[in-house]
Amino acid sequence: MIKVTLKGGDVREYEAGTPAESVVKSLGAGLYKAACVVLIDGELKDIRTVLDKDCTLEVLTFDDERGRRAFNHTASHIMAQAVKRLFPDVKLTIGPAIENGFYYDFDTEKPFTPEILTKIEEEMKKIVKENLRIERFELPVDEAVKLMEEKNEPYKVELIKEHASKGEKISFYKQGEFTELCAGPHIPDTGRVKAFKLIQCTGAYWHGDSKNKMLQRVYGIAFPKASQLEEYLNMLEEAKKRDHRKIGRELDLFDIYPEGPGFPFFLPKGMVLRNTLEDFWRKEHVAHGYQEIRTPMILSEELWHRSGHWDHYKENMYFTKIDEGDYAIKPMNCPGGMLVYKRKMHSYKDLPIRMAELGLVHRHELSGTLHGLMRVRCFTQDDAHIFMTPEQIEDEIIGVIDLIDHFYKVFGFDYHVELSTRPENSMGSDEQWEMATNGLKNALERKGIEYKINEGDGAFYGPKIDFHLTDCLGRTWQCGTIQLDFQLPERFELEYTGADGQKHRPVMLHRVVFGSIERFIGILTEQYAGAFPVWLAPVQVKVLPIADRHNEYAYKVCDTLKAAGIRVEVDDRNEKIGYRIREAQLQKIPFMLVLGDKEVESGSVAVRARSEGDKGSMSLDAFLDMVKEKIDTKSLS
């Protein structure tokens, strides 16, 4: 007999060789029906895994991210099976689960049109209805290669050889006539994928290399219930309405032109929004003890060798020659920050030193990944580098956590936190990484913040805490990050004089709050659907004289508001007042002041609010007090 410890501490005995599936069934029909995969001794496994020793076991459903990924991965296999049934000559490549759904890349001479996607969906429904059992098996490398060669799947043969060269097991999953090379895990059968939709088809290169063949990438989403799919599709429709690229053009904020793919243009109103965010950033950072610096955008190639970015990041960098020397356009601000720290000797009494920088960086992103302001080739990081003693680590991390929390509350965002640990491709000793990781963990635990661990997803120079915002549609965006770094101070030989009179190496924190000014503006645009809070709105008040005889009073009102620091415009065009009100509403102006004979005579203003409509007449002073209060408190309403 073996002992199985369930989540919550319940211990049950089973015969050795019992499938996990039997254990899940014994816990209730409802849980078994919802189960996707199981966690056995902390490892993700198929529900049919045989239990042959004492272990812990946790059932993961679609509500758990890990269960959801297995569910979506199975949906990608169902799609691939449907494609092979309809188009036997199509070659299979890869089909992973992604954050919101799944995709599969196909090598086909015939592009997948919307009509073809509909046919694939219909065939997928048949596969789901067949409720095919999904089974895993392993093969030696030579047999695996032979199997895929017989099926005329050259990409699979290539993948098998890649996995074998790394000493990995070669496993397959079979459902009906379809066999797929895959590490898994997967849900028990195809019948559980009750609802799905193929969203779009795009081009994608094999291995992401433009020198390789262009493949057809089909994206899809899947859910256990039709109601969940309907809810998600409604969210997508709302997301289309809120698309920052569309709103950015409509409100004349920003755009990207063919002459500069991935390089955004900010227009006058967009610059007002941007400058307001940057002014807020500066004010808060000064209040929290930061000094602002600016470092050059182009620095010598040698610097990037010294920092380690050349070995870990050069494929994402742009290069140039100056006076026959080799230079790089910076993809990150940190090496410049190292040089600023190193310009003079520091004492332990100077630390911590907090240096903040709104630094423009350039990164070579593939054209297929570019997306409005969300993924660009040049952006401004609201960076800061904190140099400190080892004893100051936890307090400084907590200070950054508090600052980030303050920022996100101002904009009305909830968030969750993830801790990413040492990746395979990293610099530094085990001892340094352990100290850095523990420093981040201890700070989170002192704050009482729950966090998820992403094993192996840290930066090459240190572990990190990432802050994921949740917007009004339930989507998440990774923005703020805190990265603890022992490596760059070592590589740049940074020093400070300790209380003992000896030279010591400082520890460094990299951190951002917005992440990227451009991306954060894109997120805000979609969060508010362009209807920015008053303090952020490029135009806060639109003054609308009803007739020409009211223009003089309109401009007096405008001058009074401008003198009080309000961003205001007068619309005195020869158009009907209803037309101008509707246009101001479409431009999402927070307040409109409609001025006619009554307002001129009484020295008042008739106020229309973007969200509330007609608010009636009030004195100009009362209106000004109301607007200033909303601006000063950064009200979201």
Catalytic positions are 334, 363, 381, 383, 385, 464, 510
DSSP state string for 117-186:
HHHHHHHHHHHHHHT-BEEEEE--HHHHHHHHHHTT-HHHHHHHHHHHHTT---EEEEETTEEEE-----
Separation CA 361–CA 192 (nearest Å): 46
CB 170 within 8 A of CB 181: yes
List, in order, residues 6 or more apart from 571 with CB less than 8 Å away. Answer: 542, 543, 544, 580, 583, 584
Nearest residue to 73 (alpha-carbon basis) of 37, 33, 26: 37
Q: Which two tokens stand for residue 48?
A: 């049919």
Q: DSSP per residue over 478-542, as a string?
A: EEEEEEEESHHHHHTT--EE-TTSSEEPPEEEEEESSS-HHHHHHHHHHHTTT---TTT-SS-EE
Structural contact between residues 319 and 330, judged by C-beta atoms closer than 8 angstroms: no
182 is in an annotated binding site: no
Distance in angstroms (rounded) separating the CA atoms of residues 4 and 177:
35
Q: CA-CA distance, 74 to 33, in Å (whole number)?
A: 16
Burial (CB < 10 A; 0-12, 13-18, 19+), residue 139, is: middle
Report how far apart the first and last C-alpha atoms of the chain are (Å, whole number): 63
Phi/psi at 347 (nearest 5 deg)?
-100, 160
Per the annotation, does 186 bind a ligand?
no
Cβ atoms of residues 478 and 466 within 8 Å: yes
- Name which of 226, 235, 220 is nearest 101 in CA terms: 220
> CA–CA separation, 38 vs 32, rounded Å?
11
What are 568's strand-pairing partners?
541
Q: Distance between CA atoms of 411 and 635, rounded to whole angstroms?
A: 9
Please state, in angstroms and rounded to a whole number, the distance separating the CA atoms of residues 471 and 244. Answer: 13
Cα–Cα distance, 167 to 51 (Å, whole number): 25
The DSSP string of 319-344 is EEEETTEEEEE-S-SHHHHHHHHHTS
Tokens of 423: 């990746």
Q: For residue 192, which amino acid is it?
A: R
CA-atom Rg of the chain in angstroms: 29
Cβ–Cβ < 8 Å for 349, 323? no
* Residue 334 is labelled as binding a ligand: yes
The answer to whether 419 and 441 have CB atoms below 8 angstroms apart is: yes
Answer yes or no: are the C-beta atoms of 233 and 157 closer than 8 Å: no
Cis bond leading into 423, ω under 30°? no
- Please provide residue 295's backbone torsions phi and psi, each rounded to the nearest 5 degrees: -115, 155
CA 292-296-301 angle, 5° bins: 135
Instruction: Tell me the binding residues.
Output: 334, 385, 510
Residues annotated as binding site for Zn(2+)? 334, 385, 510
